[in-house]
Amino acid sequence: AFLGWVAIAGLIGFIGNEAVAVFRIRVGREINSAALIADGYHARTDGFTSLAVVLGAIGVWLGFPLADPIVGLLITLAIFAIVWQSSKAVLTRMLDGVEPAIIDEIHHAAEHVSGIGRVESVQARWIGHRLHADVAISVPEMATAKDVLGVTEALKEELFAHLRALAEANVRLVSPAGLAAETSHAHHHAPEPFKVACD
């Protein structure tokens, strides 16, 4: 009997929830909060529900009363999809996991540093809203100790430039045997392999 009012209420609900969703998701990404991002998707789900009410009202108005329950089923599927996506993100963060894109970005940062022979390993974890990374790299055999320090500092700078949420970067350099011998001779000990940490 009041399809017009139902449609107007649904539109207002959709616009309001979508505005809140956009705000929460944007702020959540800025502060790297998986929980706030998930809350934003929750608000977006509420907005879709309101929009489904509008579509159902239009269907009924056009003489198709089954439009309302059909749209309800479709929005239920959408809710499940959003809940699944948000749950995975929050659970990954709770288990100190990081998104694959972060590991890819660390490798990308290393590509900008000349003098790196190979990225041996990459480890990263979230502590609160801040990211901590540990990167092990190797250098060419002819690299000197001075080259080692230059490469580690350059990689550290690239990591902070590529990862806005990065709070700490630890660069470990696993050097060839020649550099290990050269460096160990200068320090009167012979660790194998030689590693340089840059905090």
Ordered mean pLDDT values, 10 residues apiece, the chain (199 residues):
82 91 88 79 85 84 84 82 78 76 87 85 83 87 81 88 85 61 36 41
Query: 51, 68, 94: which is the final residue of a domain?
Result: 94
Gap between the Cα atoms of 134 and 127, Å rounded:
13
- Count of domains for the chain: 2
Model pLDDT, residue 65: 82
Same domain, 106 and 43: no
Identify whether residues 9 and 84 lie together within a single domain: yes
H or E, element range at 96 = none
Question: Does residue 176 sit in the same domain as residue 111?
Answer: yes
Residues 13 and 64 in one domain: yes
- What is the structure's pLDDT at 182? 39
Instruction: Say what the alpha-carbon torsion angle 141, 147, 153, 159 is, to the nearest 10 degrees.
Output: -40
Quote the pLDDT of residue 176. 54
Here the CATH number for the domain that contains residue 140 is 3.30.70.1350
Does 104 lie in the same domain as 59?
no
pTM above 0.75?
A: no
Which residues have CB under 8 Å from 130's CB, separation 6+?
A: 32, 165, 166, 167, 168
Domain match, 89 and 44 both: yes
Phi and psi at residue 25, in whole multiples of 5°? -65, -45
Residue 29's nearest CA partner among 16, 20, 17, 38 is: 38
Same domain, 24 and 81: yes
pLDDT for 16: 92
Domain that holds residue 27: 3-94
66 and 80 co-located in one domain: yes
Q: Are residues 109 and 191 in the same domain?
A: yes
For residue 193, say if its preceding peptide bond is cis, omega within 30 degrees of 0.
yes
